[in-house]
């Protein structure tokens, strides 16, 4: 996603990225970034909180127009919850990121992709 | 030690997958230089700009037969004028322990974009949005996916783009 934003920007389309993985996006470097300190999944506001979603989008539209230098990050003022313990459980043994079915599918997809690549079909 | 600042996903995934027995850690993309197109270069106010939309949310229509899996994982597009209730995400990689993808507008703000069009804040929304898959091959993203998005956006006369990462 960050690579696509960079590509569009190199081709004269100003971009704004909304995301929740600040370290990954900033490690890559994107022109404009609205960061929500939320669990992965809701980069444009909490589910069913329409007012918050509207405001987060608005932050991004302001940033599109107002940013003057690349790699400008705006931090959304919203907190997921007063309790930050969800952050500690991410990618832990007790709480695997993908469920077993999704993990199996991911591994199968990877093998299919490799096979296509090996035969020159990609 | 509780986390009090943002999650370090790069460190966490490295530790997690090494413990799971995977070999070389994934090299997240990194560049010293970040490109930048100043908004002024678009040459018109936001209220006259057409906004393109890209997401990693692997969107699909609820009413349609699911497409067969595309092993090439190419960029695909869907119309932006569908009510979000008719869309859903097939993405498995999100924090399923802490949240849900049940509300499309929490990761693909089509309803809110339509509203800001009605309010006159943006000129319009592109007729289709693109889904891009997360790829382990950064080369594929840059050589195949990103050029396809650009091609579609140019075809749709997009001026500025909003990208949402699950």
DSSP code, position B86: G
Q: Shortest CA distance to A65 belongs to which of B45, B154, B114? A: B45
**Pick from A54, A65, A87: which is nearest to B112 by CB?**
A54
CB contact under 8 A, B153 and A8: yes
pLDDT at B4 over 70: no
* A17 to B35: CB separation less than 8 angstroms, yes or no: no
* Cα–Cα dist B141/B75, whole Å: 10
- Cβ proximity of B78 and B58 under 8 Å: no
Contacts of B132 in chain A (CB under 8 A): 1, 4
Q: Are strands B128-131 and B76-79 parallel, antiparallel or unpaired?
A: antiparallel
Smallest CA–CA separation between B64 and chain A, in Å?
22
Cα B132 to Cα B124: distance, rounded to the nearest angstrom:
22
- B129 CB within 8 Å of a chain A CB: no
**% of chain A at pLDDT higher than 90:** 70
End-to-end CA distance of chain A: 20
Digit-coded pLDDT (tens) for A18-75 = 999 999 999 999 999 999 999 999 999 999 999 999 999 999 999 999 999 999 999 9
A107 reaches B (C-beta below 8 A) = no
- A79-101 pLDDT per residue, tens: 999 999 999 888 877 777 777 78
B47 contact A CB<8A: no
Residues A54-70: tens digit of each pLDDT: 999 999 999 999 999 99
pTM score: 0.92
* ipTM for the predicted complex: 0.94
């Amino acid at each position: 996603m960050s690579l696509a934003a960079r590509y569009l920007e190199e081709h004269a389309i100003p971009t704004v990225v909304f995301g929740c993985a600040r370290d990954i996006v900033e490690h890559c470097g994107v022109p404009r970034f609205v960061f929500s300190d939320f669990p992965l999944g809701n980069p444009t506001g909490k589910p069913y909180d329409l007012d918050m979603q509207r405001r987060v989008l608005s932050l991004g539209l302001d940033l599109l127009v107002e940013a003057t230098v690349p790699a400008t990050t705006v931090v959304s003022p919203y907190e997921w919850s007063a309790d930050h313990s969800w952050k500690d459980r991410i990618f832990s043994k007790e709480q695997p990121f993908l469920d077993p079915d999704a993990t199996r599918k991911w591994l199968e997809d990877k093998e299919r992709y490799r096979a296509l690549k090996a035969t020159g079909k990609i | 030690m509780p986390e009090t600042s943002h999650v370090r996903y790069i460190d966490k995934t490295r530790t997690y997958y090494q413990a799971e027995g995977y070999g070389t850690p994934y090299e997240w993309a990194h560049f010293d230089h970040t490109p930048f197109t100043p908004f002024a270069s678009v040459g018109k106010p936001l209220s006259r700009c057409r906004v393109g939309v890209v997401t990693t949310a692997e969107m699909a229509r609820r009413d349609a037969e699911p497409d067969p899996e595309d092993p090439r994982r190419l960029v695909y597009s869907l119309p932006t004028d569908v009510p979000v209730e008719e869309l859903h995400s097939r993405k498995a990689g999100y924090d399923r322990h802490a949240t849900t993808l049940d509300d499309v507008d929490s990761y693909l703000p089509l309803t809110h974009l339509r509203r800001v069009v009605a309010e006159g804040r943006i000129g319009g929304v592109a007729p289709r949005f693109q889904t891009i898959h997360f790829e382990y091959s950064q080369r594929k993203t840059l050589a195949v996916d990103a050029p396809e998005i650009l091609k579609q956006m140019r075809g749709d006369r997009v001026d500025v783009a909003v990208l949402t990462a699950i």
